[in-house]
Amino acid sequence: MRSHYCGHLNKSLVGQPVELCGWVNRRRDLGGLIFVDMRDREGLVQVVVDPDMADVFETANQLRNEFCIRLEGEVRARPDSQINSDMATGEVEVLAKHLEIINRSDVLPLDFNQNNTEEQRLKYRYLDLRRPEMSERIKLRAKASSFVRRFLDEHNFLDIETPVLTKATPEGARDYLVPSRVHKGKFYALPQSPQLFKQLLMMSGFDRYYQIVKCFRDEDLRADRQPEFTQIDIETSFMTADEVRQVTEKMIRDMWQELLDVNLGEFPVMPFSEAIRRFGSDKPDLRNPLELIDVADLVKDVDFKVFAGPANDPKGRVAVLCVPGGAQLTRKQIDGYAEFVSVYGAKGLAWMKVNDREAGVEGVQSPVAKFLSAPVIEALLDRTQAKTGDIILFGADKANVVAEALGALRLKVGLDLELTDLSAWAPLWVIDFPMFEEDDEGHLSAMHHPFTSPLGVTAEELIANPASANSDAYDMVLNGYEVGGGSVRIHDAAMQAAVFETLGIDEEEQQLKFGFLLDALKYGTPPHAGLAFGLDRLVMLLCGTENIRDVIAFPKTTAASCLMTDAPSLANPAALEELAVAIAVDKK
Amino acid sequence: MRSHYCGHLNKSLVGQPVELCGWVNRRRDLGGLIFVDMRDREGLVQVVVDPDMADVFETANQLRNEFCIRLEGEVRARPDSQINSDMATGEVEVLAKHLEIINRSDVLPLDFNQNNTEEQRLKYRYLDLRRPEMSERIKLRAKASSFVRRFLDEHNFLDIETPVLTKATPEGARDYLVPSRVHKGKFYALPQSPQLFKQLLMMSGFDRYYQIVKCFRDEDLRADRQPEFTQIDIETSFMTADEVRQVTEKMIRDMWQELLDVNLGEFPVMPFSEAIRRFGSDKPDLRNPLELIDVADLVKDVDFKVFAGPANDPKGRVAVLCVPGGAQLTRKQIDGYAEFVSVYGAKGLAWMKVNDREAGVEGVQSPVAKFLSAPVIEALLDRTQAKTGDIILFGADKANVVAEALGALRLKVGLDLELTDLSAWAPLWVIDFPMFEEDDEGHLSAMHHPFTSPLGVTAEELIANPASANSDAYDMVLNGYEVGGGSVRIHDAAMQAAVFETLGIDEEEQQLKFGFLLDALKYGTPPHAGLAFGLDRLVMLLCGTENIRDVIAFPKTTAASCLMTDAPSLANPAALEELAVAIAVDKK
């Protein structure tokens, strides 16, 4: 039905007949002629209808926006004065010879030229996706997955599918469950990741595995989360953490080069402890020049408990951000930041403006200055290398509160004061994560997952001193987003048992949940390591959007609904009966 | 950790040092030396351990089957007398210089050299997949998907993901349902296919879409079905059925050429009615030379109600298979076939052996000969072109019973008498399906799905005479398997309404179930058509196996269980409570 895409027409085709299929993007009547901007997947082209062609003209007269049409015509060069350099096909136009209306269109419920609410856009997603901005994103996503597959195929990775209907896992608290019709009263779980299956594939000897695969997590959603998300899932045998990082870093670097013509360079590698110390985050945005500066040693003897308390607490921390140009902040703005950090548990935000660095202690303005001696203030100014016009913002609390509060404040202030270079790309690896996280009651949980290998300790050493153990895990961070994470896995049955013991998972529970994995460890398991990238986030970054829904063809809302199809919905009672499932909703 | 794969070593590497990682496939002690067949993903190589290397020899002495090892050694040519031409690496061996046991192995619960039950193989799937026969299948599957993606990328198809958590559909009777935690009492459905989403993508203007995607059907399983299966899903705009068939036929032909070095040639195209008439099936196996031959006209006046009844019934049919060499069948074998066809509703199996064609009526032997006049028997022999030694098998019943019974018998007899050329490849397209199927009460249901376009009728004509309408649908059949199916879709709102009306789906139900699709049809929907291939079946055919579980890494049993992970399983009661779901299993 078509000889060319609209968006592909150019001067080399002048004089040639073409057949086009697409949509009326816009129609204008001008000087007795009708101009139609005709659109297809590849772009727009201008069609001209001359009143001399009576039939065609009459049809063209009926055209409205978004009519689906088929056109036969001839490509001709536009006069120099009419060349539109904003348009890829702006040097040519098509003179209509034959025009067919394939399908009419009502007036769209979305206005392509105005801002629609996201709710409207999601309800009429199939129309929203006609907007070139949106369709370009979906096309870029297709290019990205295609690139990944080509790269991994070339590097000897095998694309192997793992099940979607799986057994519930320990992270099970957020599993989507699927009742079984055959085994009434039993359930499948949708996978939060193919973790165990990919480890089993290594035990099977497949050596290098990948899959671009849907994963599912039934959790409270945030702007960059979806109930179903897509993972580039990778696992290798006989490769060290370093080698896994090398090959996956190359994949991302090559991808940015090919799709954006951007060279990401070599990724710095930073231990978790350094990331927390310098940036208050395990996914630091290195486009932002601000760093946390520890000052506990300077304030531990001051007569100001807000500082001296945490400074003398082994679990406390006192740190500052020195913000260039921050002295310009109003009292109201600073109060706003104080409220901002309170969300992270900070009980206030002490600050110190450096109005005149030359003037030393006399040149600072701060509600807390009165609690600090002149030498302490001088020492703070020296430590932070503060300059005239800066502001020093204090965090003093439990170490994790300080890290979270100043880490978040760092990002916010960096954006507000335009210190962050939004045009830059800043990748890094974060490594050497703690093996376990401890909650307030001293219970340990796995920071990554219980199959992650500890780093440099034996099973006995791990059991003796679990809290201080690090894991051989690594995250890839890009512009403050964790885009991928992985680890070397445990391939030794004794070590796996030690980790379960540390986590307080007894043997019965181990057998029930992971019996097959523990069994498998008996039969010559190879050393293996892997990683998973969040494809949605990678594409979000490639597209330069901050809304993950913009890079998913049919996304769900933050309430996990599809506004277009109205899912989830009520189920057929007969179907529920057959599944032996009843709804237990409180009618109140 | 490794310089080469075991399976890649060859004469060009003689004299070079290599580092290998893999498994002990077999160890033999011979003439004071230890020989180890070492295995990795790419194959086997023979390792020789000399007692002169005391350390290595001592380690090698501990080796048992399936130990995971790392080896450093030197490639050397085998003496001519020891070259093993059955082995890809059979011209070389590796002299061990350093040997490390990475992980020991218990004696396997599977015996690689004997037949294990499928139950054992599924329970220890990760070990079963170590068998080269199995790992080759999974590798071929990876090659097949990779080929498909490359082909479709090159043909301008965009890989676009559609949701897994979707709205229940009308085929909903076999939907897997997923309770929503956020919207208590409501459910998502896992997709039986992305049908509506791919149509919406065409309405969005994406023009050419594909996806290799998991689909789900909660139905009683057969040997070649799985609760989750993988579809190569394709949809196009502005292409006719012919064009869709051309591009997808080329894909399959190129795939067979590249992966098997087999030329499938051009696929014949056969209308549904012809397939049923000649082969009793809409997925005929053309490797089998037998055809159904209609004889109703010959027997409609005989004094034998079994034949004359169906021959005079407009919904009846009398047909035969003339089987070369079938006169050799024993009475017991024929009785077996009679029982076989009874499964399809046939009430018996009349037969006629042609012991001597030259002798005419005198040369036949048949329990029904006495009911037939000599001219009728002569006419039957002429019509079937029977030869001495053949048997004629009769089907006389409702037309669909005859087609099913003789269609199935044709396949069975073809295999039993080795008439079917199992080394051949026989693809074809079946087209022009009936639009609707009628049940015994005269209710119509869609033969494909309700979005399939009727062929050559207007909406008014369809409503006036639905039972006789054909659809613009097509199936690709290969060696008797339906490997793919698709259709031109309805892009006209009035036609879609007519189909729903014919199916007895009222407006309220239409709005509730497909409101978004009917809405979408108002906004310039393009003509579109598509097709979906069953990837599992294609790979099954590529691998030459008849067990679909052999081409899936972690399949489920015909009872939809995973014997390895023991899924489905009991759910955490707290999780069910949070989902507002209760189990309604009768305790008895």
Contacts of B179 in chain A (CB under 8 A): 177, 179, 581
Q: Which residue has the tokens 């500890």?
A: A454
A177: nearest CB among B24, B559, B575: B575
CA B7/CA B13 separation, integer angstroms: 12
A230: nearest CB among B103, B161, B567: B161
Residue ranges of alpha helices (H) inside A167-318 are: 195-203, 241-260, 272-279, 296-299, 305-312
B164 vs A216: CB contact, 8 Å cut-off?
Answer: yes
Statement to judge: residues A398 and A444 lie in one domain: no
- Closest CA of chain B from A531, distance in Å: 19
In this predicted structure, the answer to whether residue A113 has a pLDDT above a threshold of 80 is: no
- What would the two tokens of residue A81 be? 């004065």
Asked whether the beta carbons of A435 and A277 are under 8 A apart, the reply is no
B138 vs A129: CB contact, 8 Å cut-off?
Answer: no
Q: For residue A472, give the H/E element and its range.
A: none
For A331, counting Cβ atoms within 10 Å of its Cβ (0-12 exposed, 13-18 middle, 19+ buried), the class is exposed
Please state, for a pLDDT cut of 90, what percent of chain A lies above it.
Answer: 86
Please report the ipTM that was assigned to this predicted complex: 0.95
Residues lower than pLDDT 50 in chain B: 588
Residue of A nearest to B108 (CA): A523
pLDDT band at A170 (very low <50, low <70, confident <90, very high): low
Whether A457 maps to a domain, the answer reads: yes
In this predicted structure, the answer to whether residue A401 has a pLDDT above a threshold of 50 is: yes
Whether A451 maps to a domain, the answer reads: yes
- Residue of A108, A126, A217 best to disrupt the B interface, most CBs of B under 10 A: A126
B226 is in an annotated binding site: yes
Q: For residue B306, give the H/E element and its range.
A: helix B305-312
Please state, for a pLDDT cut of 70, what percent of chain A lies above it.
Answer: 99
Q: What's the pLDDT tens digit per position in A263-300? A: 999 999 999 999 999 999 999 999 999 999 999 999 99
Contacts of B102 in chain A (CB under 8 A): 491, 524, 526-527
pLDDT for A169: 62
B190 vs A197: CB contact, 8 Å cut-off?
Answer: no
- Residue of A2, A103, A203, A216 best to disrupt the B interface, most CBs of B under 10 A: A103
Q: Which residue has the tokens 């009547």?
A: A29
From the CA atom positions of chain B, what is the Rg in Å?
30
- What would the two tokens of residue B358 be? 């030259």
Q: Which residues pair with A413 in a beta bridge?
A: none
In this predicted structure, the answer to whether residue A453 has a pLDDT above a threshold of 90 is: yes
Whether A154 maps to a domain, the answer reads: yes
A127 vs B204: CB contact, 8 Å cut-off?
Answer: yes
Identify the CATH number of the domain in which residue B68 sits. Answer: 2.40.50.140
Statement to judge: residues B140 and B267 lie in one domain: yes
Q: For residue A578, give the H/E element and its range.
A: helix A573-579
Contacts of B200 in chain A (CB under 8 A): 125-126, 554, 564
A228 is in an annotated binding site: no
Q: What strands, in cross-sheet order, belong to the sheet with B351-354?
A: B292-294, B316-323, B391-398, B351-354, B364-365
Whether B399 maps to a domain, the answer reads: yes
Statement to judge: residues B139 and B247 lie in one domain: yes
pLDDT for A449: 86
Whether B188 maps to a domain, the answer reads: yes
pLDDT for B588: 47
Question: pLDDT higher for A113 or B355?
Answer: B355
Of B145, B237, B161, the C-alpha closest to A142 is B161
Statement to judge: residues A367 and A446 lie in one domain: no
**E-assigned strands of A248-406?**
269-271, 292-294, 316-323, 351-354, 364-365, 391-398
- What would the two tokens of residue B139 be? 């590798």
Statement to judge: residues A13 and A138 lie in one domain: no
A27 is in an annotated binding site: no
CA B28/CA B49 separation, integer angstroms: 10
Statement to judge: residues B130 and B265 lie in one domain: yes
Identify the CATH number of the domain in which residue A325 sits. Answer: 3.30.1360.30
In this predicted structure, the answer to whether residue A199 has a pLDDT above a threshold of 70 is: yes
Asked whether the beta carbons of B177 and A577 are under 8 A apart, the reply is no
Statement to judge: residues A476 and A564 lie in one domain: yes
A176 vs B178: CB contact, 8 Å cut-off?
Answer: yes
Q: Which long-range contacts (CB under 8 A, 24 or more apart) does A114-123 make?
A: A118/A549, A119/A563, A122/A549, A122/A555, A122/A557, A122/A562, A122/A563, A122/A564, A123/A563, A123/A564
B146 vs A135: CB contact, 8 Å cut-off?
Answer: no
Identify the CATH number of the domain in which residue A263 sits. Answer: 3.30.930.10
Contacts (Cβ under 8 Å, ≥6 apart) of B256 = B262, B263, B264, B425, B542
- Closest CA of chain A from B569, distance in Å: 5
Q: Helix (H, G, I), strand (E, B), or coil: what is residue A139?
A: helix
Statement to judge: residues A565 and A444 lie in one domain: yes
Q: Which residue has the tokens 């001067």?
A: A11
Q: What strands, in cross-sheet order, belong to the sheet with A364-365?
A: A292-294, A316-323, A391-398, A351-354, A364-365
- Residue of B174, B178, B492 best to disrupt the A interface, most CBs of A under 10 A: B178
- Closest CA of chain B from A509, distance in Å: 13
DSSP B542-586: HHT-S-GGGGSSS---TTS-BTTTTBSBPPPHHHHHHHTEEE---
Asked whether the beta carbons of B528 and B236 are under 8 A apart, the reply is yes
B207 is in an annotated binding site: no
Q: What's the pLDDT tens digit per position in A297-320? A: 999 999 999 999 999 999 999 999
Whether A111 maps to a domain, the answer reads: no
Give phi and psi for B200, each to the nearest 5.
Answer: -65, -35
Give the relative orientation of helices A507-520 and A195-203 as an angle to the nearest 10 degrees.
40
Question: pLDDT higher for A223 or A433?
Answer: A433
Last residue of a domain, one of A388, A416, A444: A416
Domain count for chain A = 3
Asked whether the beta carbons of B23 and B66 are under 8 A apart, the reply is yes
Of A485, A489, A515, A313, the C-alpha closest to A396 is A313
Statement to judge: residues B266 and B388 lie in one domain: no
For B582, counting Cβ atoms within 10 Å of its Cβ (0-12 exposed, 13-18 middle, 19+ buried), the class is middle
**pLDDT averaged over every residue in chain A:** 94
- What would the two tokens of residue A138 be? 């979906």
- What would the two tokens of residue A434 be? 């703690």
- Residue of B41, B204, B585 best to disrupt the A interface, most CBs of A under 10 A: B204
- Residue of B143, B188, B492 best to disrupt the A interface, most CBs of A under 10 A: B188
CA A341/CA A333 separation, integer angstroms: 13
CA B499/CA B466 separation, integer angstroms: 9
A583: nearest CB among B146, B185, B586: B185
Statement to judge: residues A432 and A571 lie in one domain: yes
Last residue of a domain, one of A416, A436, A471: A416
Asked whether the beta carbons of B241 and B488 are under 8 A apart, the reply is yes
Last residue of a domain, one of B55, B88, B103: B103
Whether B457 maps to a domain, the answer reads: no
- For the segment A207-235, the average pLDDT, to the nearest whole number, is 91
Q: For residue A332, what are the domain limits? A: 288-416
Contacts of B159 in chain A (CB under 8 A): 142, 145-146
Of B124, B88, B61, the C-alpha closest to B5 is B88
- For the segment A114-122, the average pLDDT, to the nearest whole number, is 89
Asked whether the beta carbons of B307 and B396 are under 8 A apart, the reply is yes
Statement to judge: residues A31 and A86 lie in one domain: yes
B217 is in an annotated binding site: yes
B238 vs A127: CB contact, 8 Å cut-off?
Answer: no
pLDDT band at A221 (very low <50, low <70, confident <90, very high): confident
CA B227/CA B216 separation, integer angstroms: 6
The amino acid that residue A164 corresponds to is V
CA angle B546, B550, B555 (to 5 degrees): 120
Q: What's the pLDDT tens digit per position in A44-72? A: 999 999 999 999 999 999 999 999 999 99
A219 is in an annotated binding site: yes
Return the number of CB contacts < 8 Å for A and B.
Answer: 362
B187 vs A516: CB contact, 8 Å cut-off?
Answer: no
Tell me the whole-structure pTM to 2 decimals: 0.95
Statement to judge: residues B388 and B306 lie in one domain: yes
Contacts of A579 in chain B (CB under 8 A): 177
Whether B443 maps to a domain, the answer reads: no
DSSP state of A552: S
- Closest CA of chain B from A91, distance in Å: 24
pLDDT for A588: 47
A125 vs B200: CB contact, 8 Å cut-off?
Answer: yes
> Phi-psi region for residue B66, left (φ > 0), alpha (ψ -120 to 50) or beta?
left
Contacts of B208 in chain A (CB under 8 A): 41
Contacts (Cβ under 8 Å, ≥6 apart) of B506 = none
